[in-house]
Amino acid sequence: MPSFDIVSKVDPQTLENAVNTAKKELQTRYDLRDTKGGIELDKKANTILLSSENSMRVKALEDILLGRVVKQGLDGTCLDFSAEEQPAGALVKKTIKVRAGIDKEASRKIMKLIKDSKIKVDAQTQDEQIRVSSKKIDELQQVIALLRQKSAEVGQPLQFVNMK
């Protein structure tokens, strides 16, 4: 029976390259030259820490990081900027979570989109991925096309792997 998996993952090497080029840009920008703090990637926790003297500079760091992530070919929605800024002594810090895996809320949205489309497929949630199967490959391709169109509703970058 033909099937494929819907996953959401970020290449760690590409993300590290994006963070490193953002650090280099931070050093060369005139308006941010004397900034204390910076951008740090925590690979184990899958987060990025931004720190600077004030909220305005933290916002500038967000813009630099997002620009570099997009230039590296990653989807900008893989970064979760919803966390609040926290004062830490003389610095303001913000922790940005890197989205990896499909969380339960996004999984529900995807399952609802598939069911509402009336395409005859079976979709099952398996940990942080969704397996979609059908008797016809054409129906699977219709689901992929549907999810690519509605990717803004999901709010997470999606990849389609293991087409069998």
Show the tokens assigned to 70.
Answer: 């997009």
Given a contact cutoff of 8 angstroms between Cβ atoms, the answer to whether 53 and 37 are in contact is yes
DSSP run (H or E) holding 116: helix 104-116
In this model, does residue 35 exceed pLDDT 80?
A: no
**Three-state DSSP state, 122:** strand
29 or 71, which is more confident: 71
Domains of the chain: residue spans and CATH? 3-8+101-161 (3.30.70.860), 12-98 (3.30.70.990)
Using one digit for the tens of pLDDT, what is the confidence trace for 105-114? 888 888 888 8
Using one digit for the tens of pLDDT, what is the confidence trace for 50-77? 998 888 888 889 999 999 999 999 888 8
Per-chain mean pLDDT for the chain: 87
